[in-house]
Chains A and B, each alone.
Chain A
Amino acid sequence: MSALAGDPNPTGGPPEPSSEDFERLRVAAGWARFAAIAGFVVSLLLALVMVATTLKRWMPGAQTAYAIATTVVSTIAVGGAAGLVWAFARNVSLFFVEGEPALARAFRRLRYFFIVWTLFTGYNAVTTLYWFIAKR
């Protein structure tokens, strides 16, 4: 292992999570799988709502463009995040069957999820602020 900045184990020797930790990981994977399925359903419904509302009141303008852009970004972000959470859960399950490198893959997907979700939360905050100022 290279000596990285913030190396979690500078003294060498493998970190050894307890069997309870691994059992918790199994529980996390179970809830993650449920959250991923719910995320897929939400992203599908968001897409349906977007199509339905666009068909119902199509009015070219900033408000419609904002509504469509927000729904498209939300659908992609929620769907992508759900896919990453699903991959995390699947790789954790694989880890209990075949060991590493499945856990490293699972944690990588989880890191990607946090990146996607941070950017999406930031986008939401910025658009909320923009729209609040624009309405004044």
Chain B
Amino acid sequence: MAAPPNNPYEPPRTTDLDARPGDAPVVLALSDEALRELVAAAPWVRWLARVTSVAIALSLITGIADIVRSPAAASMAARLFMVGVTTAISTSILAVVRRYAAAADRLRAGDRGAVGQVIAAQVGYFKRIGKILIPVLGLVLIGAFIAIAGVVSR
């Protein structure tokens, strides 16, 4: 048991959540409720895959149509690059969402072994999102800096 803090107003430390010697061991098992939540998410993940597919197709069509409509040579390469990058990013996320949806559907159909596949798909999904967010965050920071600098220097 940790010693009580000297300061009664001190906020709880993150280490307060750590297991201590003598504590009862935590049983790591998937409860029925947790399983029901995974099953209940399956239709939404499937819908997310469908809607993302439609959004990618729309973005591609409207992007190319915009380029064809006003083919200014200076900005054409930049716009083509943007359409290509956003399509590549969205498609790579869609691939993981589809894998997640397939595993969740198997679980919903009664395949108990699919729990591991759903968890693996969760790792894949968040890992992919995280890796994509690193450069995106940099670009958003630069964009925000430019936008705010434009207002300040006005």
A residues sitting closer than 8 Å to B (CB atoms) are 1, 4, 6-10, 14-22, 24-25, 27-28, 31-32, 34-35, 38-39, 41-42, 45-46, 48-49, 52-53, 55-56, 85, 93-101, 103-104, 106-108, 110-111, 114-115, 117-118, 121-122, 124-125, 128-129, 132
- Assess whether B58 is in contact with A104, with CB atoms less than 8 Å apart: no
Interface status of B33 (Cβ within 8 A of chain A) = yes
The stretch of B2-10, B73-81, B110-118 in contact with A is B110-118
Interface status of B35 (Cβ within 8 A of chain A) = yes
How far, in angstroms, from A98 to B12 measured CA to CA in the complex?
A: 17
Residues in chain B near residue A34, CB distance under 8 A: 130, 133
Instruction: Please pick, from A52, A96, A110, A111, the residue contacting B26 in the complex, using a CB distance under 8 A.
Output: A96
Interface status of B87 (Cβ within 8 A of chain A) = no
How far, in angstroms, from A96 to B17 measured CA to CA in the complex?
A: 10
How far, in angstroms, from A135 to B126 measured CA to CA in the complex?
A: 36
Residues in chain A near residue B143, CB distance under 8 A: 45, 49
105-143 of chain B: CB within 8 A of chain A: 107-112, 114-116, 119-120, 122-123, 125-127, 129-130, 133-134, 136-137, 140-141, 143
Interface status of B22 (Cβ within 8 A of chain A) = no
A59 to chain B minimum Cβ distance, whole angstroms, is: 15
Q: Mostly helix, strand, loop or mixed at chain A's interface?
A: helix
Known contacts A100-B33, A129-B62; 16 further A-B pairs (Cβ under 8 A): A4-B36, A9-B112, A15-B35, A18-B116, A31-B123, A34-B133, A38-B137, A56-B154, A99-B27, A99-B29, A100-B31, A101-B33, A111-B44, A114-B45, A118-B47, A118-B51
- Assess whether A7 is in contact with B110, with CB atoms less than 8 Å apart: yes
Interface status of B85 (Cβ within 8 A of chain A) = no
Leading 7 A-B pairs by shortest Cβ distance: A107-B37, A31-B126, A111-B41, A104-B33, A125-B55, A104-B34, A114-B44
B101 to chain A minimum Cβ distance, whole angstroms, is: 10
How far, in angstroms, from A42 to B114 measured CA to CA in the complex?
A: 34
- Assess whether A17 is in contact with B119, with CB atoms less than 8 Å apart: yes
How far, in angstroms, from A85 to B126 measured CA to CA in the complex?
A: 9
